[in-house]
Amino acid sequence: MSTPDLQISTHLIHHPYQPPEGFVAPQPPVHKASTVIFENVAAMRRRQWLDKSSYTYGLHGTPTTFLLEERLSALEGGLQCLLVPSGLAAIATTSLALLRTGDEMLLPDNAYGPNKTLSEGELAHFGVRHQCYDAMDVADLEAKITPKTRLVWLEAPGSVTMEFPDLIAMVRLCRERGVTTVLDNTWGAGLAFNPFDLLADGTHSLGVDATVHALTKYPSGGGDVLRG
């Protein structure tokens, strides 16, 4: 999607957004609405929000949120992005979407605290088991993967300790074992490295399966926004 020699900041500003004539600002307007009006019931039924081809309801997306999702995808080199109300909501949505009763999940020992709390509480109640692995020890991660392991969380660097794991080795291992990887990329913010192209050679041959991040932190910048 992005040309490798184009700076990401340039790429983000030159996103194919069409501003209204006479007001060519890079920032799109903020649309605030829950309900949108359809010409008739048939038109309502024809509309699709899952593929972002049209608008159905404010919670499903507005012109503003769809554009922010596209730009976040461009920032991280992802294919699709879903905005939610906070970083923790992004973590919970991901775990709830991917895990079923009987599944096991692995968390780095320096994971963002509330991710651990969610796993010890709600996910345990739903019959999802979790274990923590040593974020700095690929062999420990390997030893803890079982046939029931469905999801491995990663953080780079990890919360509080700021230790940086051997992401390439860990993602490669999980891929060999058929386990889904999700990176909490809050600290990398989509700028420190490309999580979907870890070899940084433009081949996209090694990357995590999904990322989450707290827009609450670096992307919002001012400490006055909650978003994930």
Ligand X SMILES: *Cc1c(COP(=O)(O)O)cnc(C)c1O
Residues that bind ligand X (CB under 6 A): 86-88, 112, 159, 184, 186, 214, 216-217, 226, 228
Task: Choose between 61 and 87: whose C-beta lies nearer to ligand X.
Answer: 87
Task: Choose between 55 and 182: whose C-beta lies nearer to ligand X.
Answer: 182
Task: Choose between 44 and 162: whose C-beta lies nearer to ligand X.
Answer: 162
- Please, what is the minimum distance in Å from the beta carbon of residue 68 to ligand X? 15
CB 94 within 8 A of CB 112: no
- Please, what is the minimum distance in Å from the beta carbon of residue 100 to ligand X? 23
**Nearest residue by C-beta to ligand X?**
87
In degrees rounded to 5, what are phi and psi of residue 184?
Answer: -80, 100
- Please, what is the minimum distance in Å from the beta carbon of residue 192 to ligand X? 13
Q: Residues 218, 215, 189, 164: what is their CA dihedral angle, to the nearest 10 degrees?
A: 90
In the chain the beta strands, taken as DSSP E runs, fall at: 104-108, 129-133, 149-155, 180-184, 210-212
DSSP class of residue 59 equals G
Instruction: Dump the DSSP string for 118-159.
Output: HIIIIIHHTT-EEEEE-TT-HHHHHHH--TTEEEEEEESSPT
Mapped onto helix, strand or coil, the DSSP state of residue 51 is coil
Query: In angstroms, how far is the first alpha carbon of the chain from the final one?
Result: 23
Task: Choose between 78 and 87: whose C-beta lies nearer to ligand X.
Answer: 87
What is the C-alpha to C-alpha distance for residues 26 and 88, in angstroms, rounded to an integer?
A: 29
- Please, what is the minimum distance in Å from the beta carbon of residue 215 to ligand X? 7
- Please, what is the minimum distance in Å from the beta carbon of residue 183 to ligand X? 10
* Residues across the chain: 228
β-pair partners for 100: none
Task: Choose between 55 and 92: whose C-beta lies nearer to ligand X.
Answer: 92
- Please, what is the minimum distance in Å from the beta carbon of residue 169 to ligand X? 21
Task: Choose between 190 and 228: whose C-beta lies nearer to ligand X.
Answer: 228
- Please, what is the minimum distance in Å from the beta carbon of residue 217 to ligand X? 6
Task: Choose between 44 and 160: whose C-beta lies nearer to ligand X.
Answer: 160
What is the C-alpha to C-alpha distance for residues 87 and 184, in angstroms, rounded to an integer?
A: 9
